[in-house]
Amino acid sequence: MRPTVGQAAALTAMLADHCSLYNGALQERRDAYRHVSKTSIEYGQQSAQLKEIRSFDPERQGRWSFSSQQATLRRLDKAFQAFFRRVKAGDTPGCPRFRGVNWFDTVDFPKDGDGCRWDSTPHDPVTRVRFQGVGHVKVNQHRPVAGNVKTVSVKREGKRWYVILTADQADQAEPEPWPATGSVVGIDMGIVNFLADSGGEFVPSPRHGRKAAAKLESAQQALSRFPRVRRDKRTANHQRAVQRVADLHRKVRRQRLDHAHKTALDLVREHDFIAHEDLRIRNMVKAPASKPDPGQPGIFLPSGAAAKAGLNHSISDAGWGGFRTILHAKAESAGREVIAVDPRNTSRTCPECGHVSAENRPTQEKFHCVSCGHTAHADTVGALNVLRAGLVRRDARKG
């Protein structure tokens, strides 16, 4: 979006008021549960209070769309549902927290035409979107919108504003599958190489985060010299320092996305079937637990936390999770098949004789079977075993 100065101020105020509504609803839920009665408040009860809240505060809460405020309350309700689901499953729960005004950057409009209107000036060659309380905002539309717009969202990234649309394409024809290639592939994702395929090819890891680390460190050091104050209390130099850090993070994120899109597109173009490891990335990047020294209270034994922190940083920099999401989406639209398989022992199993042993992998890159003597790159061996497991799963599905 390309808002004017006044429109940008109105959008900022809208985010701040929705943040205030979110935090107020969260405080009400906490206070009710801390009461001796252990009362649980749900979305329906808080949504019913909106009319009174809007009439009490017409200059702020009453200024914005009723439906968007309901969406904000629904967003909090989903956070609590996820919290209780994690508690029930025995996972680390992570209770919903209060949001600072700088950490609330999205407002959702559940229905186009209710508080918002996409392409609000169809007679004008310039595309605009209208928001209640803001007006008609100019949009730099990067591609045509296919289908009927259902929901509209506003997102802030630094000083930039975006409008995000979801469209219903049920009335349109299904995407036509791409021509079959007759090729199948398994991929093994790693750190040194972003991925290795079963054909012996490698995609080098771009390491965008590591390349930008020096600039980011310098920018963060410059930002740390300013005191922590509210957004409206920052000096011009402070604001520029904040913007510098945000711009560097944004650039790295977009570089990762660009690499993931291009790599996934190459795989989908060349292969009809793709198998990959079903990695539990969240568990892989957990910090090791501390080890208290039983002989010296208050002293801890080495746990390898420093080395694990470096590995965790490399895993996050690779962006495996985003790549898998993009790969599945592109494969679905192209009529390709993607299957995730269990990653256990994929790099320890010999593809020639089937022998499984940790000794088969003497180094990070080398695979040498202690049973039959087969040697290869360890990542290529992993990709071969992933492909075989994927084909077995595919045949089992077909019956």
pLDDT confidence of residue 94: 86
Sort residue 204 into left (φ over 0), alpha (ψ -120 to 50) or beta: beta
Q: What is the mean pLDDT of the chain?
A: 91
Q: For 202-223, what is each residue's pLDDT tens digit?
A: 999 999 999 999 999 999 999 9
pLDDT confidence of residue 172: 58
Percent of the chain having pLDDT more than 70? 98
pLDDT confidence of residue 296: 83
Q: For 295-333, what is each residue's pLDDT tens digit?
A: 888 888 887 888 888 888 888 888 999 999 999 999 998
Banded model confidence at residue 173, pLDDT cuts 50, 70, 90: low
Residues 201 and 283: beta-carbon distance below 8 Å: no
Q: For 237-256, what is each residue's pLDDT tens digit?
A: 998 999 999 999 999 999 99
Max avg pLDDT among 65-79, 145-159, 229-243: 65-79
Virtual torsion, Cα 118, 122, 125, 131, nearest 10 deg? -30
Q: For 29-80, what is each residue's pLDDT tens digit?
A: 999 989 988 888 999 999 999 999 999 999 999 999 999 999 999 999 999 9
Residues 212 and 251: beta-carbon distance below 8 Å: yes
Question: Alpha-carbon distance 336 to 264, whole Å?
Answer: 12
